[in-house]
Structure 1
């Protein structure tokens, strides 16, 4: 064939749908494929192997087909070295730079496959000192060797676990409001328990609806029980948590009965003022001005938290980082080594965090608004378990089940 190339793919191709995805992308793009060789694993732990011939209508069409096929997990049968080009200047990547996914990635360098460190989506790959790593465009320096094209790059898509399905595989990474909340909450609690028991790091990404819906006590309890290793949020979660802990309201509404407090409209500003009086959230805890709540538990148990600012913030609190580049770096530091991330009622912080995570990190996203859940997965965090539910009802169920498991 004039416009054809041979590729191969290894792994658990059948049950993980890897081969199906390759066939789908070729057919969707109007290409042709031929299976030249196929070896199917006979037992559940045995990998499979396939050699395929991919055919395009033109050279350009073939290259586009191969680009998508490589991203689905295939590699060229000819061991071609990765192509590197120098960055023309600071914060500028060379033309045709390779844009990363959140899947485990390797490059063929010096006659062998080496792992790309710090895997994240929508970054480039820097090669330096025999090592490869994902970096954002703002960290690119003039002369840096950056990977270009798809040649010599290998993606390893996540595979179905060999030890049976957990809640993540069972739910198929989709979102729906028509699922049994109590059952799902129990399953999520079991996954949190197992992750922590195995020494895994669990991070919460939260929005102010945690407080508005009355779930702040449950999140504080999760921190108190030792199930949270980091908190990522914005100004609003901290403000309303302090408001609730000191005044019993959230946005001026009494959390326990939903009634409007007298002069409640000023309560969140009163909370901000109280933190400024103390100088910081930590000082407020130290001087016993703050004695309960999510932020209180983080300070008392030395759980790192990062509050990233936005243009709509009141205050913001002295603890809020208003430089977005600095806030993003701090988020990454807290996320390093995370095994599970729970995203609760915050679209922008959830999407931002999802972009920083490799595909092997378990992600649970809970929001009463289905488009929020769907949008996160549509933007690349496809491994997320989407739960469309009121966090005020869902999180207490999770906390209750974890208390039961702990005892």
Structure 2
């Protein structure tokens, strides 16, 4: 059966509740980066605001940010991006009483809305994931040509030759439109391509090499000498791995730095807020997000990702969000976002990417 998106059910704004609702209250920002009293904070769901008698959807939303009315549209901004004079929408009631309506059930089926009690809703090692995998394969096939797939990755994939190859095949197959990661993923993947090790351990045999603890530092140093990851790949004749696939396929990636980074590599964002802005550029286009083996990057991306996306033709569609980790806590923390679009898989991330590559007939 061909994959089909769930149909979005918009609120009926012709009903009495909405017609009688007042316009929202708006207040000006008095100091840069400071929202006015009683500001409204956004959720992951579609949110509508009544302004001059009309209901307006905030199209590019983000949780824990504030709505700003500007140029006939509702913009959603981080507190740090607020500027003096911005017109912020205020109000804490979310069912129309203050001209604000949060719509959590737009993608729910009638059956799902009726089912209020159910067992085994959390993800665990005992959960069966075969149907989740089958659905994911079909979703990725659809999204390759119709959506924007963002992968959020920890460094675990770079420690194993098979998982490096599996994700490289995913990229080469067109199933990645952007990758968000940290310094470590790129460092250890390129160490593997350059010296055959990750943190000094052979990526195929898992044998520790003599003096191998220098390998990642030598790799970083060579890349810094080259000036960029792309230049290093070209100069050293790198022909395999994740970063090689991203560079040769021209898939954009954001490497967000950490206080614990070695080097770091050229191109890694050292400013956390600049990294956040760069990540959000891709998250704001994402229709499917898959977070794997990186709790901090996954939580950060989850906080940026709404449950919906407005397409250029005005269609409101679902955003699919997956979290893959060996730790149940991480998976359930990300899945427990109140959205039916969120799925969790408790497994080794290296095994996961191998299954995905096979399920897509890439290996």
Same fold by TM (over 0.5)? yes
Counterpart selection for 2:68 from 126, 133, 140: 126
**Aligned-CA RMSD value:** 2.9
State yes or no: 1:270 paired with 2:212: no
Change (3 A) 1:291 1:47: closer
Q: State the Cα distance separating 1:47 from its structure 2 match.
A: 9.2
Change (3 A) 1:208 1:340: same
State yes or no: 1:117 paired with 2:75: no
Aligned partners of 1:175 and 1:386 also within 8 Å: yes
Which residue number corresponds to residue 398 of structure 1?
A: 356
Aligned partners of 1:235 and 1:308 also within 8 Å: yes
Which residue number corresponds to residue 335 of structure 1?
A: 283
Counterpart selection for 1:232 from 165, 171, 180: 180
1:78-112 CA distance string (max 9 Å, x none): 32110111112111101111011011111000111
Change (3 A) 1:347 1:77: same
In 1, the alpha carbon distance for the partners of 2:10 and 2:257 equals: 47
SS of 2:262's equivalent in the other structure is: coil
Change (3 A) 1:288 1:45: closer
Which residue number corresponds to residue 78 of structure 1?
A: 20
Which residue number corresponds to residue 12 of structure 1?
A: none
| Greater percentage in strand | 1
1:187-244 CA distance string (max 9 Å, x none): 32222112224x1111111000122255221111100111100011110110011011
Which residue number corresponds to residue 202 of structure 2?
A: 254
State yes or no: 1:326 paired with 2:284: no
1:4-403 aligned within 5 A: 78-149=20-91, 150=93, 151-160=98-107, 174-181=122-129, 184-197=132-145, 199-214=146-161, 215-360=163-308, 361-378=319-336, 383-403=341-361
In 2, the alpha carbon distance for the partners of 1:371 and 1:210 equals: 20
Q: State the Cα distance separating 1:160 from its structure 2 match.
A: 4.4
Aligned partners of 1:116 and 1:133 also within 8 Å: yes
Change (3 A) 1:381 1:210: farther
1:54-88 CA distance string (max 9 Å, x none): xxxxxxxxxxxxxxxxxxxx966732110111112
Where in structure 2 are there 5+ consecutive unaligned residues?
A: 1-5, 113-117, 309-318
The higher relative CO (CA closer than 8 Å, separation ≥ 6) is in 2
Q: State the Cα distance separating 1:258 from its structure 2 match.
A: 1.8
Which residue number corresponds to residue 23 of structure 1?
A: none
Larger-Rg structure? 1
Q: State the Cα distance separating 1:181 from its structure 2 match.
A: 4.8
Aligned partners of 2:255 and 2:269 also within 8 Å: yes
Q: How many residues align?
A: 334
Deviates more, 1:221-230 or 1:277-286: 277-286
